[in-house]
Amino acid sequence: MAYDEGLAQIFEDDLSGNANITSKKMFGGLCFFNNGHMVCGVHQYKDKTSDMAMFRTGPDRYAEALCVEGVQELSFTGRPMKGMVECDAELLADDVRRIKMLELALAFTNSLPPK
């Protein structure tokens, strides 16, 4: 699986104010970490028709994340993972919704002890 490097750059720019962010290639895409905990990642759908992103919102904010237009259960693994969601390219192009998802994911990872 590949990922859109332009989309990855948007995430890097969005996360640039946080000194604890690192990135690593995995799951056929690029994932971003906060203090060693995965925040989000970019990759392509299995059919390679479009790009998508996943966010780790945690179980407490999972329902809130699913209420954001364009967000759904994470499905690329073949089964839902509570606390992980994915979204389509339309959401990713919308700065307000993309930042909302990043805020949810950062709030969760900030609540965890550093690795």
| 92 within a domain of the structure (yes/no) | yes
| 25 within a domain of the structure (yes/no) | yes
As a whole number, mean pLDDT of residues 45-67 equals 86
44-49: list long-range contacts, CB under 8 Å, 24+ apart. Answer: 44/1, 44/2, 44/3, 44/4, 45/76, 46/1, 46/76, 48/1, 48/2
Give the model confidence (pLDDT) of 58-115 as tens digits.
999 999 999 999 999 987 667 788 899 999 888 889 999 999 999 999 999 999 999 8
Beta carbons within 8 Å of 107's beta carbon, 6+ residues apart: 61
Q: What is the pLDDT of residue 48?
A: 62
| 57 within a domain of the structure (yes/no) | yes
Provide the domain limits for residue 24.
5-110
Give the model confidence (pLDDT) of 6-19 as tens digits.
889 999 999 999 89
pTM over 0.85: yes
Total domains in the fold of the chain: 1
What CATH number is associated with residue 47? 3.90.1150.30
| Nearest alpha-carbon partner for 110 in 60, 50, 45 | 60
Q: What is the pLDDT of residue 5?
A: 87
